[in-house]
Structure 1
C-alpha cells in the first residue's frame, strides 16, 4: 500500500468525521447517520494502516479519531470518580516518573548551590555583613526564624502556606509557557534564600534549629517545587528535541502533561502546608517532627515510583487527551 496515496484519498473522510464529532450535540438525523458511517469506515482505515504500516503518527491520529467517534456514537462516558482515580494512579505519577531525570538533576543542582553558598556565608563575616547588620542577624537567629512558624493560629497558617506554596509552584509551571527558560533563575534565587538563612543560622551555632524547623515540611515542599521546575524545563527541551513526533504535537502533549503535574501538586502542597502549619510549630520533640516530614517524603516518592513505573510499563504518557493503543476496527 502507498501510504501517501492512502492518506490523500481518505483525508477528506477523516476531516469530515472530525468536524461531525465537534458538532455532535447539534447534528440532525442525516448527519448522525453520516457520523456512524464514517466511524465504521475510518475504523476500517485504521485496521488497514495497522496491518501494512508502522507509521506511529498516522496510527496515533486514526486511533484517537476512532476512539472519539466511538464515544460520540455510543454516548459512552467515564464516571467522574473513575477519572479522579485514574488521575492519581496514572496521569500524575507517570508524568512525574517520566520527568525523574530532570527532577533528580534539579534537586542535586539546588542542594549543591545551597550548600556551597551556605558554607560561604557561615564562614565569612564580610559576607554576613553584606546581608544584614549584626543586630538584624541576632534578631533573625534568636527570634524571627522560629517565631515565623508560631506567630499565627496553626490552621490559618497552614492555609496561608498552602496557598503561597501552590502559587509559587504554579508560577514555575506557568513559566513553561516560555519554554522553561526563566526557571533556572527562579531556582537560583530560592537556593540563595535558603542558603543565606542556613549560613546565618550556622554562623551563630543555630543550625540545629534551622534543620529542626525547615526539615519537617521542607522536604515535601521543595520536592514539589523541584518537580514543577523539572516538568517545566522538560517542556522547554521538547521544543529542542521533540523525538519522533512533530514538534507541535510533542509540545502539546508535554504541555498537557505539565497541567497534570500542576493539579497533582495542589494536593502535595496541601499536605506540606498542613505539616508546616500543624507539625513544625508543635511541641513535639525535634526527632518526631523531622520523622513526620521524612515519612511524608518517603511515601510521596514511593507513590510516584510505584504508580509511575507501572503506568509507564503500560505505555501511558499522562496526556489528558490520551488515545488508546487499541481501537475497534471493522472486519
Structure 2
C-alpha cells in the first residue's frame, strides 16, 4: 500500500474530523458527519495497521478516534446508579477475580507475622535493643490500650481512616515496582509482631487480642487486598500473557484504581469499628464478635456478588466504550 497516497487522499477528512471533535455545538448534519468521519478514520486506521503500520500515523489516527468518540458520546454525569453498579458489580468482581493474589498475600503475612512474633517472644533480648525497659513497661501497661481512647472517637476514626488509606494507597501505587509493596507489608506486620510479643511476655495477651481483633481483622484484610492488587499490577508487565505489556498494565491499572476506591469505604468501616467498638465497654467477646462478623460479611460480599458478577463477564475494568480504541488488524 502507498502510505503517502493514502495520507494525501484522506488528510482533509482527518482534519475535518479533528475540527468537528473540538467544536462545542453540533447540529444534526454535523453530528452525522462526525459519526461518518469516525467510521472512515477507523477503517483507515485498520488499513494502516494491517498493511503499513507506521507508528506515528497509527498514534495520530488513534488520537483522532479518541477525540471523536469522546465528542460523540458526550460527558458522563454522576448518578447513584453508577455508584450502585460499582459496589454491586465492579468492585466485588475485581476482588473476586484477583482473590488468589490477596488471599495468598494474607496467608503469607499471617505466617510471617506469627513466626516473627513467636521468635521475638523467645528472644526478648532483641526487643531490648529497640526499646528501653521503661518504654516497654509504658507500652504494655498503658500506651497500647490508651491509644484507642485518648482521642475523641470521631476524630480518631478520621485519623485511622486516613492512615490506613495511605498505607493501602502505597501498596497499590508502588505495586508497579513490586518490592516497595513487600517493604510496606514488612513494616506493618513486624510492628504488630513486636507489640504482640511484648504483650504476651508481660501477661497482657488478652488485652492485645481483645483490642486488635475487633477492627484488625477487616483492616488488615483490606491492606492485604491492596497489597495483592499491587503485586498483580507488578506481575501484569512482568508476565503480560497474550496482551502487550502496556495493554496488560493499563488493564490491571484501571482495575487497581477501582479497587482503591472501594477500599476507601472498607477502611472507613474498619476505622469506625476501631474508634467506636474497640475502646467501648462491651465485653471482649462482643467486641471480637463484631470484628469477626465484619470480616465474614466482607468475604460473603466478595464470594457471592463478586463471583456472580464475574460469571456474567464483569472483570472490574472500565466499560469497553471507555477503553482505548482497538482496530482489527491482519495476521
CA distance in 1, matches of 2:99, 2:190: 24
Contact 2:93 2:314 in 1 (8 A): yes
Contact 1:17 1:39 in 2 (8 A): no
**Counterpart residue number, 1:213:** 211
1:323 positional shift = 4.0
**Counterpart residue number, 1:289:** 287
Structure 1 gaps, min length 5? 46-64, 325-331
1:259 positional shift = 0.7
**Counterpart residue number, 1:182:** 180
Which of 194, 199, 202 pairs up with 2:200?
202
1:276 positional shift = 0.3
1:32 positional shift = 2.2
Kindly report which structure 2 residues correspond to 1:114-263, keeping only aligned pairs within 5 A, or say none: 114-176=113-175, 178-263=176-261
TM-score, scaled to structure 2? 0.80
TM-score, scaled to structure 1? 0.80
> 91-100 vs 314-323, which deviates more?
314-323
CA distance in 2, matches of 1:212, 1:130: 27
Distance 1:42 1:295, change over 3 A: farther
**Counterpart residue number, 2:102:** 103
Deviation string for 1:55-88 (max 9, x for gaps)? xxxxxxxxxx999978865769676111111111
Deviation string for 1:269-314 (max 9, x for gaps)? 1100000000000000000000001111110111111121111111
CA distance in 2, matches of 1:79, 1:140: 48
Which of 307, 311, 314 pairs up with 2:312?
314
**Counterpart residue number, 2:48:** none
Q: 3-state DSSP class of the match of 1:119? A: helix
Distance 1:22 1:98, change over 3 A: farther
Kindly report which structure 2 residues correspond to 1:271-290, keeping only aligned pairs within 5 A, or say none: 271-290=269-288
**Counterpart residue number, 2:266:** 268
Distance 1:320 1:201, change over 3 A: same
Distance 1:22 1:67, change over 3 A: closer
CA distance in 2, matches of 1:186, 1:228: 11
**Counterpart residue number, 1:48:** none
CA distance in 1, matches of 2:231, 2:77: 32
CA distance in 2, matches of 1:24, 1:206: 70
> 195-204 vs 29-38, which deviates more?
29-38
CA distance in 1, matches of 2:254, 2:287: 36
Deviation string for 1:2-60 (max 9, x for gaps)? xx9xxxx9xx79988985785364557664222233467799x8xxxxxxxxxxxxxxx
CA distance in 1, matches of 2:121, 2:36: 74
**Counterpart residue number, 1:87:** 86
CA distance in 2, matches of 1:303, 1:127: 42
Structure 2 gaps, min length 5? 44-63, 323-331
Distance 1:17 1:105, change over 3 A: farther
Contact 1:17 1:69 in 2 (8 A): no
Kindly report which structure 2 residues correspond to 1:35-46, keeping only aligned pairs within 5 A, or say none: 35-38=34-37
CA distance in 2, matches of 1:15, 1:104: 50
Deviation string for 1:144-195 (max 9, x for gaps)? 110101111112211211111112211222213x433310111111111010
Q: 3-state DSSP class of the match of 2:269? A: helix
| Number of residue pairs matched by the alignment | 300
**What is the CA RMSD across the aligned residues, in angstroms?**
3.4
Distance 1:74 1:263, change over 3 A: closer
